[in-house]
Chains A and B, each alone.
Chain A
Amino acid sequence: MSRRMFWIGASLLVLMQVGCMSRGFNRGELQQQIGVVKPAFDDKEIEKAYNKKPLLPKPFKLAVFFKSPKSLNRQEPAWRWSDEDKDLLGSAVAELKAKGIVSDVFPIVSSVVADEDLKSLRLAAAQHGADALLIIGGAGEIDRYINKWGWSYALLLPAFLVPGSEADTLFVANAAMFDVKNEYLYLTAEAEAITKETYVAAFDKSDKALLKDAKTQAIGRLKAEIEKMVAGKKL
């Protein structure tokens, strides 16, 4: 009897360890959310893209657009672009202005854009008199799972006392700069941030708060990536 109990207990322990693991992030879906252009795998399209030439004047006017967050399951998106995010990325663009690379920077608001595909955004940028268009996109995902202490939640009361829950949050931010006239792609930059949190089940942070923390970190890293790309590109 005690041997049988030992093997039952050992099997449960193994099951609990396996069952506690994170399920991971769906990076494919995140990439789809932040993608600007759906790739067309066509030789003609590739030849067209290859033949495009940069047409930017020096200095040039830059329009900036922040893509709207996508929502899943018809729910409200759990994050949005805040003024702090826009100011942080704005400081990267301000450096381009200070160096004389950019003469003017202005935002494109979503109310003047028919759709968020590249052609609609280029049209809106052209209507603003911009030479280049910088598109900023982002997507986030949260993976909530229990650790080994989380199994105590089966007794209900520990759900208010024991830090048996984990939340891993991934936020991916990217930027792409296109020529308004011919869609030439000047630069792309991407950055991500993963934050981890352990919490008591009954007192968890909301999705909004978790994504905000990860987003702030990712935007900071994206700013550094943009500065690196611009320095290497000699626009």
Chain B
Amino acid sequence: MFLRICSTLLLCFVSLDALAIRGVFSANYSKVGSSLSGVTGGQDYDLKAGQGWGLSGGVLFVISDTRPHRFELQVTAGYLSESDGGSNDAVTWRRFPLDAIYYYHNTRNLFRLGGGAIFHIENQLEAKGVNSSAEMRVNNAWGWTAAIEMCSPPLENNNFVSFGVRYNSIKYNSPGFAHEADGSGFMLTTSFLGF
């Protein structure tokens, strides 16, 4: 459903010649949420549900290219992952986040405030050795996010860089989980926008 909505929105926006469309590339990190080993059966690894290093890329639609109050819609797809343990008993928690965040961007005071939806797909716990019982697929998960970022002044070609914090609210479920795993918490984020 999320993908259908995003595809429809993307088609609408792309068909509007007037909208400026720029590229965006982000890097993120978080170490938040409930313990995953607590829901997978108490194996010996230390990973939290919201933990991971992430890279994502996508499109920035400039809905209103006005100064100093600008409105932007950022749609990205990425990869989020973190591992724990040695080479014989490593556990890797990976998912593919899809984000759609609508920002208010103040170009005079150089900050962005945003809120939107997140959808994590192809979520997977990969495990080896003594932790192999933790290996399982995790259901796709919906959530919401709120962001506050500081932005650089416009660089060449009106590109800019931002650095800030996002709060993600998301919960994961799986048939193999003892109960829901809460992946909510704060995430550091940095983006390069406009290429």
Contact = CB atoms under 8 A, between A and B. Distances in A.
A70 interface: no
A51 interface: no
Interface residues of A, number: 25
Contacts of B186: none
Interface string B39-81: 0000000000000000000000001111111010100000000
B102 interface: yes
A1 interface: no
B64 A146 contact: yes
A202 B16 contact: yes
Interface string A183-207: 0000000000000000001111110
Contacts, number: 59
Nearest to B113: A154
B192 to A, nearest CB: 17
Contact of B156 (A20, A74, A146): A74
Given A156-B102, A202-B18, A73 B154 contact: yes
A165 interface: yes
Contacts of B64: 146, 150, 153, 159, 164-165, 201
A204 B157 CA distance: 20
B158 interface: yes
A108 B178 CA distance: 82
Interface string A121-158: 00000000000000000000001111000110110100
Interface centre among A20, A74, A156, A205 (most CB of B within 10 A): A156
A75 B155 CA distance: 12
A224 to B, nearest CB: 33
Given A202-B16, A203-B16, A206-B18, A145 B66 contact: yes
A153 B69 CA distance: 10
A74 B63 contact: no
A23 interface: yes
B18 A203 contact: yes
Given A156-B102, A204-B18, A206-B18, A143 B67 contact: yes
B18 A23 contact: no
A74 B158 CA distance: 10
Contact of B66 (A73, A146, A206): A146
Interface of A: 19-20, 23, 73-75, 143-146, 150-151, 153-154, 156, 159, 164-166, 201-206
Given A73-B154, A146-B64, 4 more contacts: A20-B69, A146-B69, A150-B69, A165-B64
